[in-house]
Amino acid sequence: MKFYKFTGAGNDFILFNDLNNTVPIFSAKQIQFLCNRHFGIGADGIMILKKSDVLDFEMDYFNPDGSGGTMCGNGGRCIVAFAQKLGIIERHTKFIASDGLHEAFVSYKNIVKLKMADVDNIKKTGKDYFCNTGAPHHIIFTENIDDINVYEEGRKVRYSKRYKENGTNVNFVKIKDNHKIKIRTYERGVENETLACGTGSVAAALTCAEINEFCSGEVTVHTKGGMLKVSFIKQNDSYEDIWLTGPADFVFEGEINL
């Protein structure tokens, strides 16, 4: 099987072209093998680009543990870059993902700007916050972000009684100023810290806006793998016109037997 490898600010993905309905339905065990960094290709997730009758394509996303069903922001940007590489799109696209319709633009140097779903509920939970941006995110603000053991502290929250049924992603965020934050994320499904998380960056940026009470603009998000930008407008209690922007780079392609 032919595969392609892309990375979005260090969030890396294996992509398959299924426009001709030739990609099999992967088992959880096969997905785990493909994403394994020692015995497989290695990735934070798998995406399958499928044919759509009404839009440019459909996006199927799977976590390294074999689970799926949620949106992946950096994955969404990477699959747009993949669609451009395949010649399906030029600079603009509309596609469908698990959380609905998305629009995206590809600009210079593989920078992809992806429109995210509206967000109408940021909840305070104790001293922390919760926000769903196509995937669930628990947000913890801290000044000591570089000293945190993200794996250990993230697992405590991810497997806590509150999130026992479905789990959650866990984000540790430092506010540098109103429009600049630093983030580290424990991703559910990866079950470890990743170099970047698109939906987590959006959740953190919107929560920063909620705390600091600004209704529009752009937040620069510094991740371990690079810089992302989140722009938005707040209408009443809903965040709309949300865009996630950052690099989406082709790494290599190859073939693998399953």
Of these residues, 78, 131, 197, 208, which one is catalytic? 197
Segment (H or E) for 198: helix 198-212
Where b means 16+ CB within 10 Å and e means fewer, 173-201 reads: bbbeeebbbbbbbbbbbbbebbbbbbbbb
The total of other beta-carbon atoms located within 10 Å of residue 237's CB is 10
Sign of the CA dihedral running 131, 133, 136, 142: negative
Asked whether the CA dihedral 52, 60, 137, 180 is positive or negative, the reply is negative
**Which of 250, 258, 257, 190 has the alpha carbon at shortest distance from 4?**
250
Give the three-class secondary structure for 80. Answer: helix
Active site residue 197: yes
CB atoms within 10 A of CB 120: 12
Catalytic residue among 72, 78, 131, 208: 72
230, 242 contact by CB (below 8 A): yes
Which letter does DSSP use for residue 3 in this model? E
Nearest-angstrom CA–CA distance, 53 and 155: 40
Q: Which residues contact 107 (CB under 8 A, 6 or more apart)?
A: 91, 113
Catalytic residue list = 72, 197
